[in-house]
């Protein structure tokens, strides 16, 4: 069987810290193996073909609906994370199929309007809302596979998705080296491409980037990514131990530069005046829609009404809004709250010189 040939190649070629697909901890629901694809290849394909993945193309990365085709969306961010992570994974001889499945799935739980949407749903939903946890919910509850809730992905993929967020030293890390690659690749991608988008949008100039970090990482977008990727591979390889799951990280001076540049972006852009102004408007839209659907649950699609019956209306409303693209969210808001004529367009309005009937 071809799948078994691929699994044997993994045993022969992958490094000691790679995750073999044949050793996967399995799925929540057991299913027959695919004749061609390993379990992680199946997971990757299920994510790509999901509605939640497709909607990422119309979800905000940082700036809400900027004019121009060259700004990142949540989908292009996902693809850049995938590319960076696979390069690091190849350099460390890890399982690329597992890395790709995690990378493509990691942000499917993001709300419309990026972290603005996440912040307002975190305030409105009892128990809070975090996009990494919601990605798990999308993959295990909201999306469906063969009419059953959830895509039934491998536990390793779900673990990597859950632990991709955050950048604190004390935070729990993924149980696989591949999952730890995703966590770092996410930071490498968004810090660098958000700089690029901010410069393109006129919110930042290259000369404003802190020199102490640029001198370490590089002047250009591509130089900074190359420095981070190459340094991560070389430093992580030097720290590999026989049995432990490795810490995937750059060398201390390079990581300090990444963290410093990330902090600069929070101060200058993410918490800056433009993003704050956009955040207020987005929060207004989402809060009003949340209350609207609490009062009008029948306006949601049947799948979410079923969630409401099983898990409560607030949970269902949060699921429904979180799954919306930016454009759809705005359209629903306009339909619910913006006054418009209800007179049929075909109705003839008499002119002043015509007799009224």
Query: In the chain, where are the structural domains located?
Result: 2-108+143-271
Q: What is the pLDDT along the chain (357 residues), one digit of tens a residue?
A: 899 999 999 999 999 999 999 999 999 999 999 999 999 999 999 999 999 999 999 998 887 766 667 788 999 999 999 999 999 999 999 999 999 999 999 999 999 998 889 999 999 999 999 999 999 999 999 999 988 999 999 999 999 999 999 887 667 899 999 999 999 999 999 999 999 999 998 999 999 999 999 999 999 999 999 999 999 999 999 888 766 788 899 999 999 999 999 999 999 999 899 888 888 999 999 999 999 999 999 999 999 999 999 999 999 999 999 999 999 999 999 999 988 766 666 655 555 555 444
pLDDT the model gives residue 321: 97
CA angle 226/216/163 to nearest 5° reads 60
**Residue 122 in 3-state DSSP?**
helix
> What CA–CA distance (Å, rounded) separates 313 from 5?
48
CB 108 within 8 A of CB 47: yes
CB 137 within 8 A of CB 195: no
Could you tell me how many residues make up the chain?
A: 357
CATH of domain 2-108+143-271: 1.10.3210.10
* DSSP E strand stretches across the chain: 144-145, 148-149
pLDDT the model gives residue 91: 97
Going by C-alpha positions, the residue among 33, 121, 48 that lies closest to residue 319 is 121
pLDDT the model gives residue 356: 47
> What CA–CA distance (Å, rounded) separates 45 from 67?
32
């Amino acid at each position: 069987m071809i799948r078994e040939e691929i699994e044997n190649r993994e045993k022969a070629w992958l490094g000691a810290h790679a995750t073999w697909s044949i050793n996967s901890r399995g799925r929540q629901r057991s299913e027959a193996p695919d004749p061609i694809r390993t379990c992680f290849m199946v997971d990757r394909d299920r994510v790509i073909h999901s509605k939640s993945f497709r909607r990422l193309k119309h979800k905000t990365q940082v700036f809400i609906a900027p004019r121009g085709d060259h700004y990142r969306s949540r989908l292009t961010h996902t693809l850049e994370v995938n590319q960076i992570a696979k390069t690091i994974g190849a350099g460390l001889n890890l399982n690329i199929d597992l890395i790709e499945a995690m990378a493509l799935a990691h942000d499917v739980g993001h709300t419309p309007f990026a972290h603005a949407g996440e912040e307002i749903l975190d305030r409105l939903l009892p128990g809070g809302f975090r996009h990494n946890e919601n990605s798990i919910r999308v993959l295990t509850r909201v999306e469906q596979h063969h009419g059953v809730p959830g895509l039934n992905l491998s536990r390793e993929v779900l673990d990597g998705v859950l632990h991709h967020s955050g950048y604190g030293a004390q935070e729990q890390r993924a149980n696989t080296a591949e999952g730890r690659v995703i966590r770092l690749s996410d930071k490498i991608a968004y810090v660098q491409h958000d700089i690029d988008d901010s410069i393109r949008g006129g919110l930042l100039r290259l000369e404003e980037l802190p020199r102490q970090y640029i001198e370490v990482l590089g002047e250009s977008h591509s130089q900074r990514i190359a420095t981070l990727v190459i340094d991560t591979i070389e430093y992580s390889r030097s720290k590999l131990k026989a049995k432990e799951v490795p810490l995937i990280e750059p060398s201390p001076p390079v990581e300090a530069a990444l963290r410093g540049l990330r902090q600069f972006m929070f101060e200058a852009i993410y918490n800056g005046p433009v993003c704050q102004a956009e955040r207020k408007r987005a929060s207004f839209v989402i809060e009003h829609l949340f209350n609207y659907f609490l009062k009008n649950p029948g306006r949601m699609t049947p799948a979410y009404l079923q969630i409401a019956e099983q898990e409560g209306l607030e949970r269902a409303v949060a699921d429904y809004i979180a799954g919306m693209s930016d454009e759809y969210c705005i359209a629903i808001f306009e339909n619910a709250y913006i006054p418009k004529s209800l007179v049929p367009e075909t109705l003839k309005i008499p002119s002043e010189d015509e007799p009224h009937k």
